[in-house]
């Protein structure tokens, strides 16, 4: 689990509520958000590139068309809900 925190006056302070099941004295691992995120993003990008390369081009086209169709359906539903159609 990841908890966002900031360093303030030499203390690490969470910026969101801690999980209820965390007990006083629980050992935590603290990483620098900038360096941790950079490595995660680079690893994620490599993994995504590898996965995408396995998908046939016609599947990419089919997926794009499905997304376009969903967007149109969504817009139509909102227009009906708002009484614009």
Are the C-beta atoms of residues 13 and 6 closer than 8 Å to each other? Answer: yes
CB atoms closer than 10 angstroms to residue 61: 10
Domain of 74, in residue numbers = 56-85
Check residue 76 and give its pLDDT: 95
Check residue 36 and give its pLDDT: 62
Check residue 6 and give its pLDDT: 92
Does any domain span residue 33?
no
Low-confidence ranges of the chain (pLDDT < 50): none
- Count of structural domains, the chain: 1
What single DSSP character describes residue 10?
Answer: T
- Give this prediction's pTM: 0.43
Does any domain span residue 64?
yes
Does any domain span residue 69?
yes
Going by C-beta distance under 8 Å and a sequence separation of 6 or more, which residues neighbour residue 1? 19
Check residue 61 and give its pLDDT: 94
């Amino acid at each position: 689990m990841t908890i966002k925190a900031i360093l303030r006056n030499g203390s690490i302070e969470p910026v969101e509520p801690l999980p209820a099941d965390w007990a006083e004295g629980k050992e935590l691992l603290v990483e620098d958000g900038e360096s941790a995120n950079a490595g995660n993003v680079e690893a994620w990008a490599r993994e995504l590139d590898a996965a995408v390369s396995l998908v046939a081009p016609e599947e990419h086209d089919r997926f794009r068309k499905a997304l376009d169709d969903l967007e149109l359906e969504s817009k139509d539903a909102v227009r009906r809900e708002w009484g614009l159609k």
